Homo-oligomer: A and B are copies of this chain.
Amino acid sequence: MKIKDIGEFGFIDRIKSGCLIREKDVIKAIGDDCCVFRNSGRLVSLLTTDMLVENVHFLRDTIPPFKLGRKAMAVNFSDIAAMGGTPKEAVISIAIPDTIDMEYLDSLYDGMRAIAREFDVNILGGNTTSEPEHLVINIALIGEETEDQVLYRSGAKVGDIIFLTGQVGSSAAGLDILLHKRPIDTFTALIDAHLDPHPQIAEGRIIAGSKLAHSLIDISDGVASDLGHICDESKVGAFINEDKIPVNDIFLKYLEKYNLDFERLALHVGEDYILLGTAPESSQEALGKALKAKGCQFFVIGKISSEPGIKLIGRNGQTRQIRISGFDHFRREEQ
């Protein structure tokens, strides 16, 4: 069945069930010009939006629609996590080429609803349209947080430790497998990391709630680029230690097998959707303990310095400046 068989309004009827995950404080969900919900009043609102475009962010034949739906939501959830907030209400815009089957779309929305349920987020509305060729998904997401807990990119201070809340590089390696059509072999975990990232809302809440960190961002463009954003906004520089970058064994096995560059895949590609933050050195132990107590990870990879730029201290002890560049959608040097 194609979407033209049921039309725009038939499609909306089909996708709207199961979208209201949490009824409290929602006055109007899908079905009017806007959705309407009550403010908490004592919290501040966070608002973020992310667009996924076919052949730019994903290839339709390498990601199942259910996982694409999850990922489209996950990348937005991750932006809320990167401020330390809690995601609450989402609206979805979708532009659909008429070659796409209704079954594909059902599965896409099943994925979005599944991750929405997992994180207690409502899908409250959106916009559906046709597109001549490429599937385009845009999600706007509102989150909330107490004002004094919000963590910005601009808070890093000279002397801060730089930490990560998970391993990096697996998503980049997964993308590499897909782009080069390499055999999946024993590398399923890398593909999964790329196709089905897990937004770190819990980690963000722990870090924000602890009030121990100075700045926070999520790894979407790559460690180099995202740490670069923190340095830019905080007007500082950074050192990172190559041997402290947390990666897993499967990632290292993959690099070895295809003779790929560690720095490029671990630091310059991104889409890990873990968190990178900075905190005073005196808070390092308490912050690590707070995260680990809840089963979360904590790796210290370097330090904020007053010198501009990001320097990598290599395994050989030599220090080199690294380019602050991740995925730039218009320049595309890295991918």
Contacts and interface: CB of A to CB of B under 8 A. Distances in A.
Interface stretch (A106-114, A148-156, A261-269, A309-317): A148-156
Given A53-B130, A130-B53, A330-B3, A85 B34 contact: yes
B328 A8 contact: yes
Interface stretch (A138-146, A176-184, A248-256): A138-146
Interface stretch (A89-97, A158-166, A280-288, A297-305): A89-97
Contact of A45 (B36, B49, B82, B93): B36
B129 A56 contact: yes
A15 to B, nearest CB: 13
A134 B54 CA distance: 12
A239 to B, nearest CB: 22
Contacts of A50: 93, 127
A121 to B, nearest CB: 13
Of A34, A46, A82, A85, the most chain B CB neighbours within 10 A belong to A34
Interface in A190-216: none
Interface string A22-55: 0000011001111111111111111111110101
Of A35, A48, A78, A142, the most chain B CB neighbours within 10 A belong to A48
Interface residues of A, number: 78
A34 B7 contact: no
Interface in A78-132: 78-80, 82-83, 85, 89, 91-96, 98, 124-132
A148 B188 CA distance: 53
A217 interface: yes
7 contacts: A36-B150, A38-B44, A49-B125, A50-B127, A96-B330, A129-B329, A138-B138
Given A9-B328, A132-B133, 20 more contacts: A6-B330, A7-B331, A11-B330, A33-B80, A35-B48, A36-B147, A39-B44, A47-B91, A50-B127, A51-B127, A51-B138, A53-B95, A56-B95, A57-B129, A91-B140, A93-B138, A129-B329, A130-B329, A131-B134, A138-B140
Interface of A: 3-4, 6-9, 11, 27-28, 31-51, 53, 55-57, 78-80, 82-83, 85, 89, 91-96, 98, 124-134, 136, 138, 140, 142-143, 145, 147, 150, 152-154, 217-218, 233, 328-332
9 nearest A-B residue pairs (beta carbon): A41-B41, A140-B140, A33-B82, A34-B46, A138-B138, A39-B39, A51-B93, A33-B79, A34-B48
